[in-house]
Amino acid sequence: MLGVVRQRLGCGTMLRRAVERVGPAASVAGKNYSTAAKELTVRDALNSALDEEMAADPKVFIMGEEVGEYQGAYKVSRGLLEKYGPDRVRDTPITEAGFAGIGVGAAYYGLRPVVEFMTFNFSMQAIDHIINSAAKSNYMSAGQLSVPIVFRGPNGAAAGVGAQHSQCYSAWYASCPGLKVLTPYSSEDARGLLKAAIRDPDPVVFLENELLYGESFPISADVLDSNFCLPIGKAKIEREGKHVTITSFSKMVGYALQAAEILSRDGISAEVINLRSIRPLDRDTITASVKKTNRLVTVEEGFPQHGVGAEICAVVVEECFEHLDAPVERIAGADVPTPYAANLERLAVPQVEDIVRAAKRACYRSIPIAAAA
């Protein structure tokens, strides 16, 4: 890594090719992109962010299983080995504890590693390095040691991959001081937040979703600019409303937007908040919305106990309890290991109809079971 040199190729080449593959954006129901003129997949958004940051800073490099010769398990690192060479796109053995530890050591030295886990379920093998080596070093060194490292990869349930490959780790890592935890939903999120994570002086856990990689989202010209970067710790109101607040992150934002569209047909105006950042959590945006709508539904894929939704409930009770007109509704994954069978898996993961029912309960619009019988 000491002999890293800047590459001659322009940093925007791969991004331009990705955007050229799609035409003008079609209208997308429930998405707040009125001025967008292009579409970009989440995969290409992540790829372009890596490309541009590697071109801008020779200290940035990526490492992980199959990130080089195979172009990435989900093709997020496609084309980067050819462009930047094996010194900066490093294939590793199947040993998460090993390459995560090497990454932390490189960050101690002043480099900016981006460590890919093929799934965050495998980060359990490396959690000692993530928590004890990366997250705590700045505090334990009295600020003398920075650890600018990004741990990224797919998180949460995919489809039919069983309990050991379906867990959401947002609450796990968000409970640890010293880490920043980001959860992108759209292509704008993926591109802007990954750039911010790579530039940040602290360790960042970057939780993507496997089922979102191939999804296309409308994007504006501003998002395509190489200087585009989103602030860490700031949520986005994806859809404004006045009757109920719905907080969500990652894939669940899409479900929340679908639910909001369904609720609108029944005269319920739902405000959908894309958290983007789990730690730090944008408490101000959440509480301001609840003060306006007087109702709250939290949505997440993870387990309900000690989850992100539980933290949001605590924030609202502490800071704006008197504004609530109904009990907080909390939608989360079932409190069981994720089943492999497709029918049971669907029951274990939140669905759009679950959010709709919860919002109607919060607005006192649900039909009692006895009356419906």
Burial 266-296 (b: 16+ CB within 10 A, else e): eebebbbbbbbbbbebbbebbbebbeebbbb
Residues 6+ apart with CB under 8 A from 249: 170, 183, 185, 274, 275, 276, 278, 300, 308
> Beta strand pairing status for 89-91 and 112-116?
unpaired
Q: Which of 297, 333, 294, 292 is nearest to 312 (CA)?
A: 297
Task: Kindly state the helix (H) or strand (E) to which residue 62 belongs, with its residue range.
Answer: strand 60-64
Phi, then psi, of 314 in degrees rounded to 5: -65, -40
Provide the token pair at 68: 């080089």
For the four alpha carbons of 124, 64, 15 and 88, in that order, the dihedral sign comes to positive
For the chain, how many residues are written? 373
Would you please indicate which residues are annotated as catalytic (active-site) residues? 96, 165
> Beta strand pairing status for 180-182 and 277-279?
antiparallel
Q: How far apart are CA 163 and CA 173, in angstroms?
A: 19
Residues 6+ apart with CB under 8 A from 145: 108, 137, 138
